[in-house]
Structure 1
Amino acid sequence: MLKFIIKRLINLIPTLFIVAAIVFIITRMIPGDPASVLLGPQASASDVHRLREQLGLNDSVFVQFIKYLNDLIHFNLGQSFAYKQPVLTLILERFPNTLILTFCAFFIALLVSIPAGVIAATRKGSWMDYLFTVTSLFGISIPVFWLGLMLVLLFSVTLGWLPATGMASSGDGALAFITHLILPSVTLSTIPMANFSRITRASMLEVMNQDYITAAKAKGVSHFFVVMKHGFKNALTPILTVAGMEVSSLLGGAVLTETIFSWPGMGQLIVEAINKRDYIVVQGSVIFLAVLYVLINLAVDILYKVVNPKISYDTKGGK
């Protein structure tokens, strides 16, 4: 296990290098000059040139990339052009908000999809099975931005039940905080909810056809005990795989949801940085999310061993 963890952490280095190179190239392809955007349309050419020199933008792309890698090696995500703050400070200010939104969406997805997948598998071919299957396909197919706008139109504009945008502060009270959280959380949970439901159903169907399930039923074990003790426990491994991927996807995929609902998280920070041509913030945010992605997947692999001790992490065997 320890060798496996060390190997995965070492593999993090080339992964981050590739991510850093890709995001560096993509940010430099964004139209517009950061110095011109910061100074505004009334700035003179000499002022723009002076600011570009201060920001290091007059250096060649290769020199900028080497400086960028050197900062990463020293765990420095750089200084924001627009905000005049360290990128890490900006991330630490916004990331808790993204974390709250992500785990609320994740909780909603699990709360609805896992029971739905189990019920669909144990009642294969019934109207409930067809209902859950169609709903899952709908959840995967529907665009997140469209769903978010429709929820705002229905519950905020038409009914007036929930606030449309923003995040309530702690001084506004728990109720205000929760009401502001409902619409973005439900919107963000749609795709993982559909994925969890499909994977749970497929995994449960495979497990429920095993011989030991038939043997347990023949012994007179109650249906609930067979499903939850023997069925669901052994169907957890693929669900854990999807869970790790979905948490990572939610963290990185909250950009649209946070933009629609003006939720002050990492997604909105990245969008604001792109609009301001703040390359450093975009690069640092993507690297931060990439590290989280790898660490979450590592945590899921470790959970495999807890759920199923038969899984081997023999590095010599390529596992």
Structure 2
Amino acid sequence: MGKYILGRILNMIPTLLIVAVIIFLITRMLPGNPAAVMLGPQASAEEIEVLTEKLGLNEPLYIQFFDYIGNLLQGNLGNSLTYNMPIIDLIMERFPNTVILAVSALLIAILVGVPAGIIAARKQNSIFDYAFTTFSLMGVSMPIFWLGIMLVLFFSVNLGWFPATGMGSMDEGIGDFISHLILPSIALATIPTAQFARITRSSMLEVISQDYVKTARSKGLHEFFVICKHAFKNALTPLLTVLGLQISSMLGGAVLTETIFSWPGIGLLIIDAIGKRDFVVVQNMVIFIALIYVVVNLLVDISYKLVNPRIKYSSGKGGTK
């Protein structure tokens, strides 16, 4: 187990390096001078020249690359010219807000989607199962930007129950903070809820037909213990895969949700940086998001062993078998 984890951590390094190389090449292959793009058409030639030198864009490409990689290895992501502060400080300021929104949405998705999937499997081919299938299909297919706008129009504009935008402040009380959190959490949780429910239903249908589940029932165990202790635990592995993907996606910035509700997370930061042509922020945020994905995938792989001890790890290749 320890060798596997070490191998996976070492495998993260070339993955992040490849991402860094791709982002570096893309930003340098864009037409025009990035400094001129950042300053806009009103900038003078002198201003463009000063910014070009400040960003090191006047250096040969290989020197720019090694400077870029060297700064990444030192944890130096550079400074944002738009926000006039270090990018790492921007991330530390915005990322906790994204974590709050992501955790809230995941709690809703798990608390609603997983029980719904279990009940649908238990009541296969019933009215509940057909209704569940319909609503889960709608949840997966529903565009998040449309749902977000509809939630704002109905609950904020028409009913006035919740604020339409912003994050709220704890200084105004926990109620103000929660009221700002409800609508974006619901919007962000819609697709994961439907996916968790569908995966849980499929896994449970496969498991509850197994002999060990029938044996547990024949012993007179209560149905609740049969489902929770025997069936659900063995149906959990596919759900962990989907959970890992959703966590990575949400922590990587719920761009549409944060934009619609003006939630000050890293998704909104990326959109603002693109709009303000701050390519330094954009390229380093992509690296940060890639780091989130590889770390979450590592944690999901480790959780497989905890959930199902029968999984064997191949320490030599850093994989599973």
Q: Tell me, yes or no, whether TM beats 0.5.
A: yes
**Structure 2, unaligned stretches of length 5 or more?**
none
Compared CA separation, residues 95 and 30, structure 1 to 2 (3 A): farther
What does residue 93 of structure 1 align with? Answer: 93
Length, aligned pairs only = 319
Compared CA separation, residues 246 and 223, structure 1 to 2 (3 A): same
Q: Counterpart of 1:292 in 2: which secondary structure?
A: helix
What does residue 271 of structure 1 align with? Answer: 271
Q: AA paired with 1:52?
A: T
Assess if the C-alpha contact under 8 Å between 1:33 and 1:277 holds in 2: no
Q: AA paired with 2:11?
A: N
Q: AA paired with 1:270?
A: I
Compared CA separation, residues 168 and 34, structure 1 to 2 (3 A): farther
What does residue 233 of structure 2 align with? Answer: 233
Q: Deviations over 1:81-137 (max 9, x none)?
A: 222221111100000000000000010100100100000000000011111111111
Assess if the C-alpha contact under 8 Å between 1:241 and 1:300 holds in 2: yes
What does residue 52 of structure 1 align with? Answer: 52
Q: Counterpart of 1:56 in 2: which secondary structure?
A: coil
Q: AA paired with 2:69?
A: L
Q: Counterpart of 2:102 in 1: which secondary structure?
A: helix
What does residue 187 of structure 1 align with? Answer: 187
Compared CA separation, residues 141 and 29, structure 1 to 2 (3 A): farther
What does residue 251 of structure 1 align with? Answer: 251
Assess if the C-alpha contact under 8 Å between 2:105 and 2:185 holds in 1: yes
Q: AA paired with 2:287?
A: I
Q: AA paired with 1:277?
A: R
Q: What TM-score, normalized to structure 1?
A: 0.94
What does residue 152 of structure 2 align with? Answer: 152
Q: Deviations over 1:207-255 (max 9, x none)?
A: 0010111112222222222111111111111111211111011122501
Q: What TM-score, normalized to structure 2?
A: 0.94
Compared CA separation, residues 27 and 271, structure 1 to 2 (3 A): farther
Q: Deviations over 1:31-51 (max 9, x none)?
A: 775534554544322222222
Q: How far did residue 273 of structure 1 move?
A: 1.1
Compared CA separation, residues 130 and 29, structure 1 to 2 (3 A): farther
Runs of 4 or more off by more than 6 Å in structure 1?
A: none
What does residue 14 of structure 1 align with? Answer: 14
2:27 and 2:297 mapped to 1: Cα distance? 26
2:40 and 2:14 mapped to 1: Cα distance? 39
Q: Counterpart of 1:99 in 2: which secondary structure?
A: helix
1:177 and 2:194 are equivalent in the alignment:
no
**Structure 1, unaligned stretches of length 5 or more?**
none
Assess if the C-alpha contact under 8 Å between 1:55 and 1:81 holds in 2: no
Compared CA separation, residues 66 and 192, structure 1 to 2 (3 A): same
2:168 and 2:126 mapped to 1: Cα distance? 43
